[in-house]
């Protein structure tokens, strides 16, 4: 089963037809050719924008013309419901920020946007509890699917640390 899942995940890593030179006939945006023939995954750490200057890093600072995937790190898991939850302070205050992130695809048509859940702050216990019963796993999966649909993410990365 894991081999099938791995092949499924890797099947999307080939360069897509959207990575071409020229103009997009529908949107009218010039699409730059990605500089690489392999996937390039870029990460945006959600708290980076709140660091004091000069260490703060805004979403606009990510070199998206160099990326085929950009991952927003991180969201958490509610310890009672096992659903995804916002933990980035500015996203807690305004969840439309997730749409701002996924809207990057409208300017960079070859780009895929992903969401990372976990990280070292979250720890491993909540993942262990979430996977401990079919009901907990179902709640997590349903929550992930809601987030993917509501915010238009292309995928999820699980950082179980």
- Residue 131's pLDDT band, with cuts at 50, 70 and 90, is very high
DSSP annotation of 113 reads: E
Confidence check: pLDDT of 20 > 50: no
Length of the chain: 161
Using alpha carbons, list the distances in angstroms from residue 38 to 14, 68, 122, 128.
7, 8, 31, 33
Between CA 72 and CA 23 the distance in angstroms is 28
Give me 79's structure tokens. Answer: 């310890």
Domain residue ranges of the chain, discontinuous segments joined by +:
35-159
Give me 59's structure tokens. Answer: 């979403």
Confidence check: pLDDT of 31 > 60: no
| Mean pLDDT on 118-146 | 95
Q: Please say whether the beta carbons of 129 and 82 come within 8 A.
A: yes
Q: Is it true that domain 35-159 has CATH number 3.40.930.10? A: no
CA angle 93, 120, 65 (to 5 degrees): 70
pLDDT tens, residue by residue, 52-100 = 888 888 888 999 988 999 999 999 999 999 999 999 878 878 888 999 9
CA angle 72, 84, 125 (to 5 degrees): 100
Mean pLDDT of the chain: 82
Between CA 102 and CA 115 the distance in angstroms is 10
Nearest to 79 by CA among 126, 9, 145, 122: 126
């Amino acid at each position: 089963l894991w081999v099938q899942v791995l092949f499924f995940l890797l099947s999307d890593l080939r360069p897509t037809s959207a990575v071409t030179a020229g103009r997009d006939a529908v949107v009218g945006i010039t699409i730059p050719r990605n500089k690489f023939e392999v996937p390039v995954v870029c990460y945006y750490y959600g708290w980076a924008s709140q660091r004091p200057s000069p260490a703060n890093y805004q979403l606009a600072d990510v070199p998206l013309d160099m990326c085929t995937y950009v991952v927003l790190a991180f969201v958490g898991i509610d310890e009672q419901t096992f659903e995804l939850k916002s933990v980035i302070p500015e996203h807690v205050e305004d969840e439309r920020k997730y749409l701002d992130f996924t809207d990057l695809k409208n300017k960079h048509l070859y780009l895929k946007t992903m969401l990372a859940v976990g990280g070292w702050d979250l720890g491993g216990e909540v993942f262990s509890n979430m996977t401990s019963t079919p009901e907990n796993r179902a709640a997590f999966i349903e929550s992930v699917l809601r987030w993917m649909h509501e915010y238009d993410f292309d995928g999820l990365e699980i950082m179980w640390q």
